[in-house]
Amino acid sequence: MIQFLIDEERCIQCGECAEDCPAGVISMEDYPTITNEDGCYRCQHCLAVCPEGAVSILGRNPDASTGLEGNMPDAASMETLIKGRRSVRRYSDKDLDPALIDELLDIANHAPTGVNSQSVLFTVVREGAVMKGLRQEVLAQLTQLQNNGKLPEGIAGQYLGAAVDGWRDAGKDLIFRGAPHLLITSAPQDAPCPAQDTLIALTTFQLMAHARGVGTVWDGMVMMVLGVCPGLSARLGIPADHLLGYAMAFGEPAVAYHRTVQRSPARVNVVR
C-alpha cells in the first residue's frame, strides 16, 4: 500500500505530480489519482513537486519535509566543499558523537539509487574501542598470512606487506589510517545497480561529513584486506549475497588544510 492521499483543500489541480511521476502512474481526474500502485517507484517526487504540500504518500506528511525555497547551499559554498575536501590520514582518537554518525548516515541514505531500490547497507564501526579491536584482528590475520608466505603476489601483496611491517616496526596503521570509525557500503547483488549505488552513497556521505568537520578517506587498503581475509565480511555482518561497494575510514581530523589544491584542467572529450 503506497497510501497516496490528496488534501483536496490544498490541491490546486496543477497536474505537476502527474507530469513529474517517472513511473507515469498518476492521472488527473478532478484530483490526482493512482492508476497502478505496483508501478510506483516510491521516489516521492509527487510529494516533493507539489507547490501546495497537498500530496502525502507512504504515510509521509509533506509538512515534515524541509522546504527548498531559499534553503539550498550556494554554488560557491558547494565548490569550496568539493575542492577543499582532502583525504584525511591523521585522526584524533576521540569518538565522534554517535548522533552525528547517525545523522550523516541518514543524509547519505538520500543518495540516488538505480530504480530507487534504496537497498544500500551501511556497515559502520561507531565506536573507537570496536575499531581498536578490529585493527588488532586484521593486523594479526595479515601478519599470519605474511608469516606463512600467503600474502598475494603483486601490488596488493606489496601494500599489505608494507602495512604489516609498518605496524610491527613503528606502530603505524596504514590500513585504517588510525581512524576511530569505518564505513563500508554494500548492496544485494541482484539490486538493479549495486556497484553504482554503493559508491554514490559513500560519495554523498563523504561530502556531508566534510561539511560537518568530519574527516574521511576512501580506503582501498581495507578493500584489499577484505580480498585476502575471506571470513572478514561475515565477521563484519555483511550479508553473503551482497556486493561490496567500498570502505571509508572517518573521524575527527587531527590535521587542518588551509587551502584548496590546484588540479590540472579536467580531461574532456567533446562529442561533435
Ligand X SMILES: Cc1cc2nc3c(=O)[nH]c(=O)nc-3n(C[C@H](O)[C@H](O)[C@H](O)COP(=O)(O)O)c2cc1C
Write down the least CB distance from residue 88 to ligand X, Å: 8
Of 217, 193, 195, nearest to 205 by C-alpha is 217
Of 199, 201, 184, nearest to 134 by C-alpha is 184
Q: Which residue in the shown chain puts its C-beta closest to ligand X?
A: 220
Phi/psi region, residue 3 (left: phi>0; alpha: psi -120 to 50; beta: rest), is left
Stretch that binds ligand X, among 75-83, 107-115, 216-224, 231-239 (CB under 6 A): 216-224
89 vs 172, beta carbon nearer ligand X? 89
The size of the interface with ligand X (CB under 6 A), counted in residues, is 9
The yes or no reply on residue 90 touching ligand X (CB under 6 A) is no
- The distance from CA 25 to its chain's CA centroid, rounded to whole angstroms, is 30
Which cell goes with 205? 556521505
| Coil/strand/helix, residue 32 | strand
Binds ligand X (CB under 6 A): choice among 221, 238, 244, 248: 221
Binds ligand X (CB under 6 A): choice among 5, 28, 89, 105: 89
The yes or no reply on residue 218 touching ligand X (CB under 6 A) is yes
Write down the least CB distance from residue 243 to ligand X, Å: 15
User: Facing residues of 248 across strands?
Assistant: 183, 218
Binds ligand X (CB under 6 A): choice among 219, 225, 242, 251: 219
Subset of residues 173 to 202 that bind ligand X, contact rule: CB under 6 A: 177
The yes or no reply on residue 207 touching ligand X (CB under 6 A) is no
Which cell goes with 87? 583525504
Of 116, 164, 115, nearest to 144 by C-alpha is 164
The yes or no reply on residue 144 touching ligand X (CB under 6 A) is no
Write down the least CB distance from residue 177 to ligand X, Å: 6
Kindly compute the dihedral angle of the four CA atoms of residues 95, 98, 104, 109, in this order, to the nearest 10 degrees: 130
Write down the least CB distance from residue 200 to ligand X, Å: 13
CB of 188 closer than 8 Å to CB of 254: no
Sign of the dihedral defined by the CA atoms of residues 88, 89, 92, 98, in that order: positive
Question: CA–CA separation, 250 vs 92, rounded Å?
Answer: 10
Write down the least CB distance from residue 118 to ligand X, Å: 23
The yes or no reply on residue 220 touching ligand X (CB under 6 A) is yes
Binds ligand X (CB under 6 A): choice among 217, 225, 238, 248: 217
List contacts with ligand X (CB under 6 A): 86-87, 89, 177, 217-221
